[in-house]
A and B are shown apart, each in its own frame.
Chain A
């Protein structure tokens, strides 16, 4: 079992993926999901606070990085954790999230990197949308968008298409799989 950060670090360190820091040029900050940082520390004795920032800094120049919380072990929950995103308590979730709104405003960053599906939904569709709608007291400053960590990595990727031989081998594997699973696509080519 590996976390996304371990795998991304391995890809980057080994040179299996190459990242181009010139592709995204906006100020950014990194949110700390409770599960990857504080609760990981409590449960497993280690956390991803440093590594999460490191991966983001491989994708966008460090000069554009804006810290959200030096003390990441005590960073605030996005407000939708523990299943709250799916629960019928929207007002409580948004009032809770107001503290995250203030934190994001104070960073001055345009992009919030969220390494968690749930946090991303809260920051982007919960807090971000309310801010854009002009909800009273919701000031996220320079905020423009929220990205998953892996979304940011995919945007910064610098890669070449595979070779003819690799493509041919992949197509053969794919066709065998489709036949096994009974998948039929309409031909467009």
Chain B
């Protein structure tokens, strides 16, 4: 029985990879427990903490980590990785565990949102016409604001030659539209030459959290493409 278990250990020392995920240098772990001691998520998922997860991977039990709630309750805050005396990239490892999860088993809406984003340009599927109309309406509100009117304000969309192009967090047009005015007021006061894209304006990259590198890159490429299209010098990413 014990010998069977030992066969499961797949340590590739040359590339410092263990099994199918890439917990760089995990086999260097001294099991000191610095990670687990400093991790605010220790104790939240019975049976797991960062040290145990790393040890499990070293012992070839990576599938158990991938199937557990651990990599998702961990907030990828990076304290463990920052303090690890052996330089083990724990945060990257746990994100790699997320990547290894089957897509239909990613908890919550982040995978669905990522797919929605690929299809419609933002995580919540807000249609272009609704978005443009909302921006126009909010612009009029700002002009006529009773406390601090901003006469001349409007939201410049796809404006050629803008200095700054801004991404938007879809939760704002969806549910907290007035929160977009904070930045807009700053731009008004600074007389910034700025703009927003009419499409693919999403600033929240859920692929980063769901461990979906391919989708994450598509979204980043879109943000850059939007900036190139209007020849904007600067991308502001207020995330």
Q: Which residues of A sit under 8 angstroms from B79, Cβ to Cβ?
A: 38, 74, 76-77
Instruction: Give the interface segment out of B6-14, B16-24, B230-238.
Output: B230-238
Binds A, one of B49-57, B58-66, B180-188: B180-188
Contacts of A76 in B (CB 8 A): 40, 77, 79
A151 partner residues in chain B, CB cutoff 8 A: 179, 182
Are A177 and B153 in touch, CB under 8 angstroms? no
Do B190 and A83 touch across chains, with their CB atoms under 8 A apart?
Answer: no
B101 within 8 A of A: no
Most buried by A among B40, B69, B159, B169: B40
Minimum CB–CB distance from B57 to chain A (whole Å) comes to 18
Whether B137 lies near A74 (C-beta < 8 A) is: no
Return the contact of A83 from the options B150, B191, B206, B234 (Cβ within 8 A).
B206
Contact status of A99 and B40, CB under 8 A, knowing A84-B75, A170-B153 = yes
Mark out the residues of chain B between 148 and 176 whose CB falls within 8 Å of any chain A CB in the assembled complex. Answer: 148-154, 156-157, 159, 164, 169, 171
Which of chain B's residues have a CB closer than 8 A to the CB of A87? 72-73, 107-108, 110
Q: Are the CB atoms of B234 and A34 closer together than 8 Å?
A: no
Task: Please give me the residue from chain B that is nearest to A78 by CB atom.
Answer: B75
CB distance from B128 to the nearest CB of A (A): 9
Q: What total of chain B residues lie within 8 Å of the partner, measured CB to CB?
A: 64
Of all chain A residues, which has the CB nearest B143? A167
For the complex, count residues of A whose C-beta is within 8 A of B: 59
Could you tell me the distance in whole angstroms from the C-beta of B118 to the nearest C-beta in chain A? 17
List CB contacts (< 8 Å) of A40-81 with chain B.
41-42, 73-74, 76-77, 79-81
Complex interface: chain B residues within 8 A of A117 (CB): 169, 171, 204, 238-239
Q: Quote the shortest CB–CB distance from A131 to chain B (angstroms).
A: 18
- Whether the Cβ atoms of A11 and B186 lie closer than 8 Å is yes
Q: Is B78 an interface residue (CB 8 A)?
A: yes
**Distance (Å) between the CB of A38 and the closest chain B CB?**
5
Report the Cα distance A39→B79, complex, angstroms: 9
Contact residues of A between 127 and 185, Cβ < 8 Å to B: 148, 150-151, 153-154, 157, 159, 161-162, 166-171, 173-174, 177-178, 181, 183, 185
A159:B188 contact, CB within 8 angstroms: yes
Whether B186 contacts A2 by the Cβ 8 Å rule is no
B169 touches A34 (CB 8 A): no
Q: Which of A18, A117, A150 has the largest count of B CB atoms less than 10 A from its CB?
A: A117
Is A4 interfacial (CB-CB < 8 Å)?
A: yes
B30 at interface by CB-CB < 8 Å: no
Which of B76, B137, B152, B159 is close to A81, meaning CB atoms less than 8 Å apart? Answer: B76
A-B contact pairs, 29 of them (CB 8 A): A1-B234, A1-B235, A2-B236, A16-B191, A17-B189, A73-B82, A74-B38, A83-B210, A87-B72, A92-B73, A95-B44, A99-B40, A116-B239, A117-B238, A117-B239, A150-B238, A151-B182, A153-B186, A157-B148, A159-B188, A161-B150, A162-B188, A168-B152, A170-B154, A171-B154, A174-B139, A183-B136, A185-B133, A188-B140
Closest 4 A/B residue pairs (Cβ) = A83-B209, A77-B77, A82-B76, A81-B75
A interface residues (Cβ-Cβ under 8 A, vs B): 1-4, 7-8, 11, 16-18, 34-35, 38-39, 41-42, 73-74, 76-77, 79-84, 86-89, 92, 95-96, 99, 116-117, 148, 150-151, 153-154, 157, 159, 161-162, 166-171, 173-174, 177-178, 181, 183, 185, 188
